[in-house]
């Protein structure tokens, strides 16, 4: 998309004959749509199809407005901080073209065939090896009384211990399925998740805030659970890890070359489906599948680091995340990465003394519906501070990984003084206090970063820790 608009401006610059001819739909705007919109707005895709040029022209006003407001294509990251893989946002030149077209009264020009765009894949081709069904055979009818329904389904990982190197979700019914997040659950804890699943009526369980059932968000339910399993909530939350996700417009997501996330034999998956029921009343989702690329080993094992504060998740009790009625409040948490070395070693299964460096590949902000804006920053041992992600206008529907074109390489020696932080700003327009917690009327503040571990090269020196 960037290339073509550069080309476009080069062409405009090269023709300095009097005032520029007005932009028109077929020559100037239609190519923007075929390259940036049709990948989602097609007959099998989301919302409505833009494949027919004439029909699409009928919606010209709305299209121009959403483009100029930077609401479409959906891309929450503020420009100017990082180069992201698969950046959907339109550059300023393209916006200028659309603006001058709208100002000229949307001239149509003369019809011509579309040039088909090549969407391409960010990190190379997607070759799935394992395919898993998510839903029961009869499918799932989203909750018809709510406009958003978050439902979690448990799926057994069928493979042996292996590394996931690529992921794709194929929603059975894209009229209702909006996005998918997959959490991996440690084998030893899978029975607890099954029990929670069985206790809730219908297929799966309601899970707005992540992998855990919403009903554990109430004080009484939490107390009852902790009575049965002392420290049970903590065990539940620390035994699931963000594995992968899908949102409209993402096809196969291939993890960076040479990296992958380890899944143990016997592990389970919690698949969180976000449904829109109001757009397609009465329609079920049937036949949703997950496809995985796997390898038996990878050069640089990876994981998603989840950053938050546990006491935020029980804020009615802890009082640490409180957003009074009618106010805006910000909350921040950061980690010196050196403090987490033991945890990184556990997740990657690389002994601490063999960790040579970390590669930080992505940032991913997570809040609920009172989220207003947020930033994720990296402070290096040199004191230099970099904005990894800034989302000036939060939208729960479009959360995703923002992967850097070049990973941030953090040498082991620098980790003690390398600080990764997330800051969330919430706005509470209601008459009630909003607390941090798991429920849909509560708030969360998370960063998820994909981090790969570089192992020190083995040497022949028997004293070298990498040989042990
Ligand atoms: C990543 C997928 C994706 C891409 C790319 C995308 N859209 Fe959308 N669009 C959606 C979805 C999904 C919706 C439905 C509403 C929502 O979820 O926000 C939507 C809604 C819309 C709407 C509002 C429809 C309504 O009835 O309210 C317009 C207009 C629109 N898109 C225009 C565009 C244009 C123009 C582009 C390209 C410049 C574009 N979209 C690119 C996914 C996408």
Question: 72 alpha carbon to ligand 1 midpoint, in Å?
Answer: 6
User: Is any ligand 1 atom within 6 A of the Cβ of residue 73?
Assistant: yes
Q: Do 272 and 366 touch, CB atoms closer than 8 A?
A: no
Q: Is the CB of 74 under 6 A from ligand 1?
A: yes
- Locus of tokens 């329904």: 149
**By the 8 A CB rule, do 70 and 398 touch?**
no
Is the CB of 97 within 6 Å of ligand 1? Answer: no
Which atom of ligand 1 sits closest to the CA of residue 62?
29
Cβ–ligand 1 contact at 357 (below 6 Å): no
Kindly give the distance from the C-alpha atom of residue 49 to the centroid of ligand 1, in angstroms, as a whole number.
10
C-alpha count within 13 angstroms, C-beta hemisphere, residue 119: 16
* Whether residue 210 has its Cβ less than 6 Å from ligand 1: no
428: left (phi over 0), alpha (psi -120 to 50) or beta: beta
Span 345-374, pLDDT tens digits: 988 989 999 999 999 999 999 898 899 999
Q: Which of 377, 374, 378 is nearest to 396 (CA)?
A: 374
Distance 67 CA to ligand 1 centre (A): 9
**Could you list the pLDDT tens digit for every one of the 468 residues in the chain?**
444 444 444 444 444 443 456 799 999 999 999 999 998 898 877 678 999 999 999 999 999 999 999 999 999 999 999 999 989 999 999 999 999 999 999 999 999 888 765 554 455 678 889 999 999 999 999 999 887 889 999 999 987 899 999 999 999 998 888 788 899 999 999 999 999 999 999 999 999 878 999 888 888 998 999 999 999 998 998 899 889 888 766 677 889 999 999 999 999 999 999 888 777 899 999 999 999 999 999 999 999 898 999 889 889 889 999 999 999 999 999 999 999 999 999 889 899 999 999 999 999 998 988 999 999 999 999 999 999 999 999 998 788 889 999 999 999 999 999 999 999 999 999 999 999 987 668 899 999 999 999 999 876 555 554 444
Pick the closest to residue 150 from 109, 191, 206 (CA basis). 206
Q: Evaluate whether 380 touches 418 at the Cβ level (below 8 Å).
A: yes
Contacts of 175-178 with CB under 8 Å at 24 or more apart are 175/279, 175/280, 175/283, 176/142, 176/275, 176/276, 176/277, 176/279, 176/280, 176/283, 176/284, 176/285, 177/273, 177/274, 177/275, 177/285, 177/288, 178/247, 178/248, 178/274, 178/275, 178/276, 178/397
Q: Which atom of ligand 1 is nearest to the CA of 276?
A: 17
Token representation of residue 79:
């420009």
Other Cβ atoms closer than 10 A to 403: 23
pLDDT of 457: 85
CB of 315 within 6 A of ligand 1: the answer is no
Q: Report which ligand 1 atom has the smallest distance to the Cα of 73.
A: 41
314-344 burial, b at 16+ Cβ within 10 Å, e below that, comes to: bbbebeebbbeeeeebebebbbebbebbeeb
Give the distance (Å) from ligand 1 centre to CA of residue 233. 38
In angstroms, how far is the first alpha carbon of the chain from the final one?
49
Task: Count other Cβ atoms within 10 Å, centred on residue 155.
Answer: 17
Please identify, by atom number, the ligand 1 atom nearest to the C-alpha of residue 32.
Answer: 38
């Amino acid at each position: 998309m960037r290339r073509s608009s550069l080309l476009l401006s080069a062409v405009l610059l090269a023709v300095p004959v009097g005032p520029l001819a007005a932009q028109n739909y077929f020559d100037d705007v239609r190519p923007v749509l075929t390259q940036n919109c049709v990948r989602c707005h097609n007959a099998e895709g989301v919302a409505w199809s833009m494949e027919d040029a004439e029909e699409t022209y009928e919606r010209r006003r709305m299209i121009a407005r959403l483009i100029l407001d930077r609401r479409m294509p959906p891309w929450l990251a503020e420009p100017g901080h990082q180069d992201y893989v698969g950046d959907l946002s339109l550059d300023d030149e393209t916006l200028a073209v659309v603006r001058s077209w709208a100002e000229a009264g949307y001239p149509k020009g003369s019809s011509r065939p579309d040039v088909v765009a090549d969407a391409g894949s960010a990190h190379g081709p997607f070759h799935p090896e394992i395919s898993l069904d998510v839903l029961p055979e009869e499918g799932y009818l989203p909750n018809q009384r709510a406009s958003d329904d978050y439902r979690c389904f448990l799926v057994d990982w069928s493979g042996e211990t292996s590394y996931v190197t690529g992921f794709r979700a194929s929603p059975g019914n894209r009229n209702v399925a909006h996005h998918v997040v997959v959490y991996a659950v440690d084998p030893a804890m899978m029975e607890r998740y099954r029990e929670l699943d069985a206790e809730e009526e219908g297929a799966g369980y309601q899970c707005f805030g992540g992998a855990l059932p919403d009903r554990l968000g109430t004080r009484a339910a939490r107390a009852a659970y902790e009575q049965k399993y002392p420290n049970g909530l903590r065990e539940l939350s620390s035994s699931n890890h963000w594995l992968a996700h899908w949102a409209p417009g993402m096809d196969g997501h291939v993890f960076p070359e040479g990296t992958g996330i380890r899944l143990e034999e016997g592990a389970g998956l919690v698949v969180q489906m976000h449904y829109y029921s109001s757009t397609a009343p009465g329609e079920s989702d049937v036949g949703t599948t997950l496809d995985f690329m796997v390898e038996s080993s990878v050069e640089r094992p990876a994981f998603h680091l989840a950053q938050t504060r546990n006491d935020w998740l029980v804020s009615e009790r802890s009082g640490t995340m409180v957003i009074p009625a009618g106010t805006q409040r910000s909350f921040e948490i950061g980690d010196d990465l050196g403090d987490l070395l033991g945890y990184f070693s556990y997740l990657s299964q690389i002994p601490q003394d063999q960790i040579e460096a970390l590669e930080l590949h992505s940032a991913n902000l997570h809040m609920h519906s009172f989220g207003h804006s947020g930033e994720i920053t990296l402070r290096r041992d040199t004191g230099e501070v970099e904005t990894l992600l800034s989302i000036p206008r939060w939208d729960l529907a479009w959360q995703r990984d923002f992967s850097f074109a070049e990973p941030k390489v953090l040498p082991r020696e620098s980790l003690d003084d390398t600080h990764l932080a997330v800051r969330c700003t919430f706005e509470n327009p209601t008459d009630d206090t909003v607390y941090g917690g798991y429920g849909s009327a509560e708030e969360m503040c998370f960063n998820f970063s994909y981090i790969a571990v570089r192992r020190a090269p083995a040497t022949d020196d028997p004293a070298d820790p990498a040989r042990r």
